[in-house]
Amino acid sequence: MYHSNPTSGTIFPAELVDSVIDYNHDDPETLMTCALVNRQWTPSSRFHLFSRVTISHTNAREFIQLLASPHCTFLTVLCALDVHFVPGSQRWFNEFSQRLFLVNRTTITSLGISGSRSTPIRDEARLALSMFTNQVNNLFFGPVIFPKFADFAALICGFHALESLSCVASFQDAESPHDLSFTSPIRYLKLSAPSVKLVLEFLLQDNTLPTVTSLSLSHLTVEDYPAFSRYMQTPNSILQSLVMKMDINFSGVPLDVFVERLDMTQFTALRELCIDANPCIPPQSLFNILSDMSSSSHLEMLKVSACLVQGIARVDILLSGDRFPLLRHLTILGASWDDVNQFLPRCGSKNILRLA
C-alpha cells in the first residue's frame, strides 16, 4: 500500500519505485522527470543518471562549475568516468580532475579514455590521469595516440589496484621501458591492434600474464604472434576465458599459419573459448586445435567460425564425446541454425548447440 504525506507527497513501496526507475535506466529524459517527482524517487534516478558520466571539452566547464557548488551531490553515485579527447589542448581535463579530487568524495572505479585515431594524449592529460591511480580498477584506452609507449607503461604501472585493462591505443615511439614493474592484480585483459604486441611483451616481462583469467585479442597481425606464442607455451592453470578475433585481410597472415601457432595444450583451466576467424576454419584444422587441448578439458562454452563442409563430422564426434564432458554451449559463428543442426547432428542430440 501507499500513503500520502503532506510534506513529501505520495509514498509508494520502495520496490515499486525501483522497478519503475530501473525499467527506464537508459532513458535520461524520463529519469530526470522521475528525479523531480519527490525525494523518494531522487536517489534511484540519480544513480542511473550519474553512475556513468561522459566528459569532453564541450561539457567540462559545466561539470567544473557543478563541482564548485556546495549542493553538488552526484559524486556520491559516480562510479564510471568516460573521457573523450580531441586534438588540441587537454588542460580542461586537468582542471576538472583537480576540482574533482578537491571534493574528496569520489568513488570512481572505472575510467575510459577515448578519441579519434589522430588524437594524441598530451602531458597535461597524463598528469591528470595519474590522479585516479588509487581508485580505478577498470581502465579502458580507445584508439588514441601515445607519443611514447614508455609513457603509457609508466601510467598503467601507477594503477596499483587495476583488475581490468582494455587497450586499442597506438604508440609513435615503440621502445619499451626496462626499469618499470607492473604489479597490479590484473585479471581481465582485452587488447586490439595496434596495441597487442607492445602491451603483451611488456606484461610478459613482468610475468603478469599468467595471472590473467580472461584474455581477449582482436585483429591479430604477424607482429603479434611471437609474444602470443610465448604466452601460449607457458604452463597456465589460471586462464578461464580466451577470445581471439582474426581477419586474414587485416593481418596479412594465411589462416593455416594462424592455426598452426594456435597451441592451447598449456591452458588446463580453460572454460570459455571463442575463435572468430575470417575466413572460417576448415574442419581438419579445427579438429587439430580441439584434439590437442588438455585431455582433462574443463571447456564449457565454445564459439568458433567453422566451415560446415565435408569433414566436419569428425569435429561433431569429438565435441559430443567424452573428451569434452562439461561442454554445454556450442555456437558456430556466421552459420545458419539449419546448417548447424544438419552438419552437427550428434551435438544437436546432446542439446549443446546454441544460436549465434
Q: Are strands 170-173 and 145-148 parallel, antiparallel or unpaired?
A: parallel
- pLDDT one-digit tens code per residue, 8-61: 556 777 777 777 777 777 777 776 777 777 777 776 766 666 778 899 999 999
> Which residues, in sequence order, are bridge partners of residue 140?
112, 166
What whole-number distance in Å separates Cα of residue 146 and Cα of residue 169?
7
Distance CA 144, CA 129 (A): 14
What is d(CA 132, CA 139) in angstroms, rounded to the nearest whole number? 10
Sign, Cα dihedral of 346, 348, 351, 355: positive
CA distance 64 to 81: 14
Asked whether 236 and 267 are in contact (CB, 8 A), the reply is yes
213-356, superfamily in CATH?
Answer: Ribonuclease Inhibitor (3.80.10.10)
Per-residue pLDDT of the chain (356 residues; tens, 9 = 90+): 444 454 455 677 777 777 777 777 777 777 677 777 777 777 676 666 677 889 999 999 999 998 888 877 777 788 899 999 999 889 999 999 999 888 766 789 999 999 988 899 999 999 999 999 988 999 999 999 999 999 999 999 999 999 999 999 999 999 988 888 888 889 999 999 999 999 999 998 877 777 899 999 998 888 888 888 888 888 889 999 999 998 877 777 777 777 777 888 888 899 999 999 988 999 999 999 898 886 667 899 999 999 999 999 999 999 999 889 999 999 999 999 999 999 999 999 999 999 87
The pLDDT value given to residue 208: 72
Amino acid at 221: T
Count of residues making up the chain: 356
Residues 6+ apart with CB under 8 A from 41: 17, 21, 34, 35
Query: Residue 26: its pLDDT value, please?
Result: 74
Nearest to 316 by CA among 352, 276, 343: 343
- At residue 304, the pLDDT reads 96
Partners of residue 189 on adjacent β-strands:
165, 215
Query: Whole-structure pTM over 0.85, yes or no?
Result: yes
Q: What pLDDT digit, counting tens, does each position of 194-220 carry?
A: 999 999 999 988 777 778 999 999 988
Measured CA to CA, the distance from residue 303 to residue 211 in angstroms comes to: 23
Cell of 153: 607503461
What pLDDT is stored for residue 6 in this prediction? 45
Q: What is the pLDDT of residue 118?
A: 86
Q: What is the pLDDT of residue 1?
A: 44
Q: List 218's β-bridge partners, or say none.
A: 192, 245
Task: State in Å, rounded, how far the first CA of the chain is from the last one.
Answer: 45
Nearest to 228 by CA among 114, 146, 253: 253
